[in-house]
Amino acid sequence: MTIKWVLTGLVAVVLLGTACDSSKKLPATSQSAKGLKDAFKKDFLIGTALNTAQIQGKDSAAARLIQQQFNAVTPENIMKAEIIHPQWNVYNFELADQIAALGKKQGMKVNGHTLIWHSQLPAYARNIRDIDSFHTFFTNHISTVAGRYEGKIASWDVVNEALNEDGTMRKSIFLDKLGPDFVTDAFRLAQKAAPTTELYYNDYNNEQPAKREGCLQLIRKIKEAGVRIDGVGIQGHWHIGKIPLKAIEESILAYSALGLKVMFTELDIEVLPRNFSGADVSQRMDNNPTLNPYVNGLPDSVQQQLAKDYEDLFRLFLKHKDKITRVTFWGVNDGQSWLNGWPVRGRTNHPLLFDRQYRPKPAYEKVMKLKTETATESRGF
């Protein structure tokens, strides 16, 4: 089979990313000041998702913040199948190579996201009718992509979002064409192609009891087949004032009991109104002005609630630092967040620790203060 390795002419959707103004200066602290990665270096990795401009080094303000604050990175889109494998025998590796090189240069762990996901598939794959042909696509995609980055990245989200909210298997082209064993088969192929790369299952709401049980069953099935799975990612797309701390803690314990590493892989806390929970990208809401109340910034009461939510989360993470290996925020700053365009397009959301000018928010200060308090307690003061 002839494969074309395309390093230019990337798919247009990549180029429509949320590039930030590179002329902005990083405020508040000097580049040499300690950041999140330093505060939590003995606990777990602190990661962020990178968009195209950030991977290409076109956003200098983000680059300084990333280097100061984070020691792990995940590509937001460019390793998804529609970007990295746009045609049957064509692979676009340019940006994926760049993030792998960035991780090596700056000493950051790179998590590949994602090998198998029902969304953001290339059009030709969605239109495959023949089961054998689809299985060939499935096999070649995992083997080629995972194999290329063996030894170059630390880990893969092998399968993303394969479950319904009740814990049953999600109806998808993979389930339809390949049957319920496709998740195990994906891990088996990834294990062969990338024997030294850690392999994870990733989902949203898999801290909720029903979905958690389905996720545990899925993991047991993989392990019982003699196939390697190293960890589970809880995405962590939550809503302000509604963080399910009890369910999160129960899930940390349950997944860890299976011998898995636990990660929080796409953390953000939405502050805008929404009539459903989770992160199903197919769900949308009609726009109206009442759904976008904070165009000019957050009221202090909301800012303080956001800070409290992040403080409570990180206090829980520290409690279980022996089980948690990484906490990744889904974006560098509020202006980059996918929540500005989903589930309602064109809103102004504020879900992260840094605002649109790269300034640390009260939530950042609360999270950092937890480490100061921990250090004080350990000295007996």
Q: Which amino acid is at 106?
A: Q
In a domain, residue 278? The reply is no
How many angstroms separate the CA atoms of 75 and 51, rounded?
Answer: 6
In a domain, residue 175? The reply is yes
pLDDT for position 18: 40
pLDDT, one tens digit per residue, over 354-380 is 999 999 999 999 999 999 876 655 555
Low-confidence ranges of the chain (pLDDT < 50): 1-32, 381
In a domain, residue 181? The reply is yes
Q: Does the annotation mark 266 as catalytic?
A: yes
Whole-model pTM over 0.95 = no
Q: Which candidate in 76, 161, 198, 270 is catalytic?
A: 161
pLDDT, one tens digit per residue, over 4-57 is 444 444 333 333 344 333 334 444 444 447 999 999 999 999 999 999 999 999
pLDDT for position 377: 58
Phi, psi of 102 (to 5 degrees): -60, -45
In a domain, residue 33? The reply is yes
Which ranges of the chain would DSSP assign to H, the alpha helix? 12-15, 36-39, 52-55, 60-69, 81-84, 94-106, 123-126, 131-148, 173-178, 182-193, 209-224, 245-257, 300-319, 362-378
How many angstroms separate the CA atoms of 208 and 213, rounded?
Answer: 8
In a domain, residue 281? The reply is no
Q: Which candidate in 76, 94, 207, 266 is catalytic?
A: 266
pLDDT for position 362: 98
pLDDT for position 10: 39
Pick from 120, 22, 9, 124: nearest CA to 63: 22
- Dihedral of CA atoms 155, 202, 162, 226 in degrees, nearest 10, equals 50
How many angstroms separate the CA atoms of 240 and 276, rounded?
Answer: 13
What's the chain's average pLDDT?
Answer: 91
What domain range includes position 65? 4-271+287-378
Pick from 42, 14, 4: nearest CA to 98: 14
Pair 235, 266: CB distance under 8 Å: yes
CATH code where residue 24 lies: 3.20.20.80
Pick from 262, 264, 260, 290: nearest CA to 275: 290
Q: Which amino acid is at 104?
A: K
How many angstroms separate the CA atoms of 128 and 149, rounded?
Answer: 26
pLDDT for position 376: 56
Which residue's entry shows tokens 């502050």?
271
pLDDT for position 145: 98
Q: Does the annotation mark 311 as catalytic?
A: no
* Domain total of the chain: 1
In a domain, residue 208? The reply is yes
Question: How do 198-203 and 231-234 pair as beta strands?
Answer: parallel
- Dihedral of CA atoms 185, 188, 192, 195 in degrees, nearest 10, equals 140
In a domain, residue 276? The reply is no
In a domain, residue 279? The reply is no
